[in-house]
Chain A
Amino acid sequence: MIKRLLIYIGLLAAIIYLSGKALEYAAFAVDPNEPKVRQIMEMRDQNYDVMIMGNSIAMQGINPQVLDSLLGSNSYNFAVGGASMVECEMFLRHYLIHNSKPRLIIIGMFVNDEAQSDRLRPTVYLSLEPEIKKAYAQYLKQHKVKRELSLELYNRITLFRYRNTLEHVIKYMVDRGERDFQIHKGFVYVTQVGVIPDSLRQHRAGLNRHALVSYHEYCAAQGIPVLYIELPNSDVYNACTLGREPVLEEINEIIDRPVISFNNYDPRLYPPELWLGFNHFNLQGANKFTAILAAQLGDEIRRLLSQGKIN
């Protein structure tokens, strides 16, 4: 009986382990965020002077190579798909332990979604240094956010940690062209053009106020200047988002200066062939936007870069 039980449990453990490994492999193949997160978490002794942060819109929208060629900077795109403000802060805290302080952060704000969580993705959380985990726990406690047990417990199981990969695998199988990504200096790009759907359900803009305050105060404490920008969304997406103005005003009040929004633009500036869906650029779109960004904010970026403290 004991022998049979041991075989039963052993087999189960082996199946869970192997399936987990298979999903992990798939995650790295079809989801750009996974290799990107690993790159960032494993960075050591780097010396970038411009750090680009944000979610997938910034990840696919700002090309460090173009920026560097126009401004003479040394930048890296640290943005990760679905990253919240809290996640950006934890990335930065982790990065600063092992690498030199950047002289400027450009962060792409995303306000067009009401749900702005305090969550960290498991692969990020598990790679954080212990003191950063403590800082995160402190943050959650301070803002009375319930700590998710799954983050500490279930996510230790690889199969559980990568379970969302199934969605990426299916999407990849359905639309391979739009998901065949490449990564260069953290910039994730796809060359294909994605169709912008005609309509989208109306939704509200939102802001995680305490996350932004925390991020802003942390950067100020570190003496790192931050440029808060908003990348363009397709006009279909803009039309479906309600209540953007009050959210942007609230951000302006927190950061004590206006968010530099690139979202009110002439649609002819970004024709359909530059897009990959509602609010992501393809390679061409990202290059164009980065050039516009450099042209409009070049002087400001150069000024801040010269002000930024060099370690």
Chain B
Amino acid sequence: MLFNSSTFFIFLPIVFILYWFVTNRHLRMQNFLVLVASYVFYGWWDWRFLSLVIFSSLVDYFIGRRLQHTEQTAKRKFLLLVSLLINLGLLGTFKYFNFFVESWNSAWQTLGVHMNLSTLKIILPVGISFYTFQTLSYTIDVYRKRMEPTRDIIAFLAFVSFFPQLVAGPIERASNLLPQFFKKRHINSQDLIFGSRKILWGLFKKVVVADNMSPYIEQVFNNPGHYQGMTIFFAVIFFAIQIYCDFSGYSDIAIGTARYFGFTLMTNFRMPYFSRSIKEFWSRWHISLSTWFRDYVYIPLGGNRGSLAKWQRNLLITFVVSGFWHGANWTFLLWGFIHGFFNSLEALATRFNVNILKSSGILAIFYTFIVVCFSWIFFRAASMHDALIIIQSSLQPVFMPAFILGPYRFLVTVFIALVIFSIEFGYQFNSVRQIYHTQRWYRWAFDYSLVIMIILFGQATSSEFIYFQF
């Protein structure tokens, strides 16, 4: 089920009413309702893949329970290994198997040997990367004795499959979300207002901004070599806006929806395009994933301890793995590598005190945006070959952008890009934030503008969120 579909807007009030008016006296009943609602939400897409969510959850539930009663280090390690193998095995089969087979075949082919290992005809279960990481974080935290495993299987299953964030995050830590299933939940008008505003803002970002950018980007990226110069410049900028609004829009709707049910999810985006470095970008972009990698990959690798070389290595490994998490393609690996590389450069600059951009905020923001946009080319291109053609074409001196789908659609796209930029830019200033938070009429006018823009420019046909494919 998609957040931007009419089905969801029927589903949500039904669950809300049952949750607060039928099951509100019993916490376990509420949790059970959340679980059922979550499975319906997920099964709406393809009920067969529900078995994977349930299986993955049960594995970690029982391993967590066993870990509680096991003190021997070797046995604990073994249990953790079982969880890792099963979860990453499932992820690997569904997401990476074909990539490895194809890479293996083509590697031999370059050596002149004809290998023909066949690939599997499987589809990627929506959200598998998200719930796998969520449930893994639970087992790892229990293994590290950072949290007590739960005995309540309903609460645990509901935690893994919690429908607002099941398919595209935020990837919640067990330590944040799971305890909320054991506390009596309350809702007041402030929660409802907060939730509604978050949903409205998320919906605006998705159906107005992201979905309007989409046709231009698709046309350019699906036809590498057809467009040059300024057209590619616009397509890349539009993609930067599209992916941010699509993904952060999803997170906002998830956070708002969760609040309707008395849950608080973590912030996943904090206006990342105003970052002054790539390092800062990653503290503001997909925060739930970047902190996951920090805690479960980067720090276990050694983090910034040890020699400078080791630090650089750890940074690069973490970012390349993060790229690989996004998709089974060399383009994602390179995307991760670019971020790792610039992170390492910044780390070096900090270590040797040669941060030339530090003095200028605007220049630093510009530098970060350029690097991020450059990396998005690899992220969006279908293959490395396409990405290189697009980069090559972008260097052609064509200064007039192509008005794909006509000048009006182009104007609307640019206008919407300017609107989202102005809102986020304005929100950087304390004075603007203060007006927004203290003046009711200002807030209302803002809400009304969003509604009007959704009606006028929103794409009525519900399209999938980009991050579903990861």
Contact = CB atoms under 8 A, between A and B. Distances in A.
A11 B461 contact: no
Interface of B: 6, 189, 408, 411, 444, 447-448, 451-452, 455-457, 460-461
Given A148-B461, A163-B456, A166-B456, A12 B448 contact: yes
Nearest to A154: B460
B408 A167 contact: yes
Interface in A131-174: 148-150, 153-154, 157, 159-160, 163, 166-167, 170-171
A221 interface: no
A19 interface: yes
B226 to A, nearest CB: 10
A1 interface: yes
Interface of A: 1, 8, 11-12, 15-16, 19, 148-150, 153-154, 157, 159-160, 163, 166-167, 170-171
A267 B148 CA distance: 84
A253 to B, nearest CB: 33
A16 B189 CA distance: 24
B335 to A, nearest CB: 31
B451 A16 contact: yes
A1 to B, nearest CB: 5
A160 B455 contact: yes
Contacts of A166: 456
Contacts of A171: 408
A67 B99 CA distance: 66
Given A11-B448, A148-B461, A163-B456, 4 more contacts: A8-B444, A12-B448, A153-B6, A159-B456
Contacts of B408: 167, 170-171
Nearest to A161: B455
B452 A11 contact: no
Given A8-B444, A170-B411, A159 B460 contact: no
B220 to A, nearest CB: 14
20 contacts: A11-B444, A11-B448, A12-B447, A12-B448, A15-B448, A15-B452, A16-B451, A148-B460, A150-B461, A154-B455, A154-B460, A157-B455, A159-B452, A159-B455, A160-B455, A160-B460, A166-B456, A167-B408, A170-B411, A171-B408
A15 B454 CA distance: 14
B248 to A, nearest CB: 24
A12 B455 contact: no
Contacts of A154: 455, 460
Contacts of A167: 408
Contacts of B460: 148-150, 154, 160
A16 B455 contact: yes
A233 B461 CA distance: 33
Contacts of A1: 189
Contacts of A12: 447-448, 451
The 5 closest A-B pairs by CB, nearest first: A150-B460, A167-B408, A163-B456, A159-B455, A160-B455
Given A15-B448, A148-B461, A154-B460, A163 B455 contact: yes
Contacts, number: 37
A174 to B, nearest CB: 9
Contacts of A160: 455-456, 460
Nearest to B404: A201
A240 B448 CA distance: 44
Contacts of B189: 1
Contacts of B455: 16, 154, 157, 159-160, 163
A106 B243 CA distance: 49
Nearest to B192: A5
Nearest to B411: A170
Contacts of B444: 8, 11
Given A11-B444, A153-B6, A171-B408, A19 B461 contact: no
Nearest to B457: A163
Contacts of A149: 6, 460
Contacts of A150: 460-461
A15 B444 CA distance: 12
A27 to B, nearest CB: 13
Contacts of A15: 448, 452
Nearest to A150: B460
A170 B406 CA distance: 13
A15 B189 CA distance: 24
Most buried by A among B411, B455, B457, B461: B455
A157 B461 CA distance: 16
Contacts of B452: 15-16, 19, 159
Contacts of A19: 452
A154 B457 CA distance: 13
A244 B444 CA distance: 54
A112 B234 CA distance: 29
A153 B451 CA distance: 16
A8 to B, nearest CB: 6
Contacts of A153: 6
A171 B451 CA distance: 25
A11 B445 CA distance: 10
A16 B461 CA distance: 21
Nearest to B408: A167
B373 to A, nearest CB: 27
A171 B411 CA distance: 12
A238 to B, nearest CB: 20
A163 B459 CA distance: 11
Nearest to B226: A201
Contacts of B457: 163
Contacts of B448: 11-12, 15
Most buried by B among A153, A157, A163: A163
Contacts of A16: 451-452, 455
A30 B189 CA distance: 45
A16 B448 CA distance: 9
Contacts of B6: 149, 153
B218 to A, nearest CB: 15
Contacts of B411: 170
Contacts of A148: 460-461
A150 B458 CA distance: 12
A158 to B, nearest CB: 10
Nearest to A163: B456
Nearest to B451: A12
Contacts of A11: 444, 448
B278 to A, nearest CB: 38
Most buried by A among B189, B444, B447, B456: B456
A157 B460 CA distance: 13
Nearest to A7: B444
Nearest to A153: B6
A170 B408 CA distance: 8
A15 B451 CA distance: 10
A213 B204 CA distance: 41
Nearest to A20: B455
Contacts of A8: 444
B406 to A, nearest CB: 9
B419 to A, nearest CB: 14
Nearest to B459: A150
